Amino acid sequence: MKINGVIIDDTFAEAFSMKATRIIITAMTLKWAYRAANSLTGFASSVIGCGCESAIERELNPSETPDGRPGIAVMVFAMSTKDLENQVPRRVGQSVMTAASTACYAGLHSEEKISLGKNLRFFGDGYQISKTINGRRFWRIPVMHGEFICEETTGVTKAIGGGNFLVMGKTTRHALTACEKAIEEIKKVAGVITAFPGGIVGSGSKIGSKYKSLVSSTNEAYCPTLKGQVKSELSKEVGSVLEIVIDGLSEEVIREAMRAGILAVCSYGPRKGIYRVSAGNYGGNLGPYHFYLKDILA
């Protein structure tokens, strides 16, 4: 398959099961909601080293938030509910409660839940009070700027991690320009995040390593500087490979995001230094979700 002259490999992206939650952060201004959200999602690019994967999903209008203030929806993905329970309250406590004028609410409602303000309330040193509205419990924690309002829990849902595609370009500048456009389009899809810095992976990896202590290592078959030293997957004109990894709440939204991103990349074409699109998989042994590029783009 070719789209605008860009070769689409006959392959699939392999993804795996995760658990996810959504958190709504509000503040006096959108600027301060962003500052809290950016802090919460820091060091959360991959579960391999960070414990979770997290990013901003989208901006929220005041009409979409529980307190009628500007807000940000953030999603956090982890390998288990236990891992979410370990990551989310600490990140809310250190990155949202500490930010001026913020509040924090559940963005998902389900039978399975994890803590938000359930334990953070103890920061109030006995002066905290709770209020239940329509079956939802909120904690009012006195802090020096006024009050920090935090919902007691947030819901957890099944999710999918690891939808991906590889972009092969003439230079890093060519590949990065196309990938930035892809991220703009992916952000329009609700229910997905791209957790790596700027949504783009510069050091795509493979599972395993010659060093026993490492879970993953550089994907040498796609490293341009190793042509001639290894069995390379790259043609001579490819000088840079970037990857976009997508986590989502369903197969449908990941397919939609992959399609939007790949079409954005292909719009540049060979004349603008984009030659080929592929995807990362491990022969079907890593996860049960297989996203075939040709099916997505058909």
Q: What is the pLDDT of residues 237-266, one digit of tens each?
A: 999 999 999 999 999 999 999 999 999 999
Residue 169 to residue 229: CA distance in whole angstroms: 20
Residues 149 and 240 in one domain: no
Given 140, 157, 174, the domain boundary residue is 157
Write out the residue range of the structural domain in which residue 180 sits: 2-14+159-297
The percent of residues in the chain predicted with pLDDT above 90, rounded, is 98
Q: Mind listing the pLDDT tens digit for each residue in 91-125?
A: 999 999 999 999 999 999 999 999 999 999 999 99
CATH code (residue 242): 3.30.70.520
Task: List the Cα angle 188/3/288 in 5-degree steps.
Answer: 60
Residues 211 and 201 in one domain: yes
Residues 147 and 23 in one domain: yes
Residues 79 and 181 in one domain: no
Task: Tell me the pTM.
Answer: 0.96
Residue 229 to residue 110: CA distance in whole angstroms: 52
Residues 139 and 166 in one domain: no
Residues 193 and 129 in one domain: no
Compute, in degrees rounded to 10, the torsion defined by CA atoms 91, 33, 20, 254: -140
Q: Mind listing the pLDDT tens digit for each residue in 11-70?
A: 999 999 999 999 999 999 999 999 999 999 999 999 999 999 999 999 999 999 999 999
> Domain count of the chain?
2
Given 132, 157, 182, the domain boundary residue is 157
Residues 57 and 183 in one domain: no
Residues 124 and 166 in one domain: no
Q: Mind listing the pLDDT tens digit for each residue in 161-188?
A: 999 999 999 999 999 999 999 999 999 9
Query: In this structure, is the dihedral angle defined by the CA atoms of residues 279, 285, 291 and 294, taken in order, positive or negative?
Result: positive
Given 127, 157, 187, the domain boundary residue is 157
Confidence category of residue 283, pLDDT binned at 50, 70, 90: confident
